[in-house]
Amino acid sequence: MKSYRGYRARVEYDPEDSTLVGRVEGIRDVVTFYADDVASLEREFHLSVDEYVAFCEERGGEPERPVAGKVLVRMGAALHRSVLEAARREETSLNAWMVDAAMRRLDAPPPRGEAGKLHGVTRSVTGHRKEGGGAPGAPPMPGRDTRRGPAGSARS
């Protein structure tokens, strides 16, 4: 599926409901969409992203931008040389060395979102809109279906 407004999605088939289930990747907020056929899938993806952006703006917040896993790091030449030499001594790539250093520095899993924060907008192919997707363990949002689908998203 092509990206839309900088967002990309992963799609899985749910054989139980004979439905295509999509989820926007690269953001902590949960934005899902459903379609019964491939022709409707891209339209539902676009509508879900548009609703997510509009919802965030209505609440006075910025929509989360996807991360691609690529980072440009600026450092002085001497530090660059030292890091490069350390990677060579450890017989690893500069990238692998930097990732290892970052993981050691963090020494903790990344945050998954704040409890009570609305984490998404879900659309079905019929256009029915469900709000929900708070942090794990948070109470369900009003009107949210608490049954879980195959991609970990609320189901209708």
Q: How far apart are the first and last CA of the chain?
A: 24
Structure tokens that stand for 64 in this block? 């989360």
pTM of the shown model? 0.54
User: What percent of the chain is predicted at pLDDT more than 90?
Assistant: 49
DSSP-derived secondary structure for 3-65: -BTTBEEEEEEETTTTEEEEEEESSSS--EEEESSHHHHHHHHHHHHHHHHHHHHHTT-PPPP
pLDDT tens-digit series, residues 77-97: 999 999 999 999 999 999 888
State residue 106's pLDDT score.
Answer: 86
- Whether residue 52 contacts residue 120, with contact meaning beta carbons closer than 8 Å, is answered with yes
State residue 41's pLDDT score.
Answer: 94
pLDDT tens-digit series, residues 92-126: 999 888 888 888 888 855 444 433 333 344 444 43
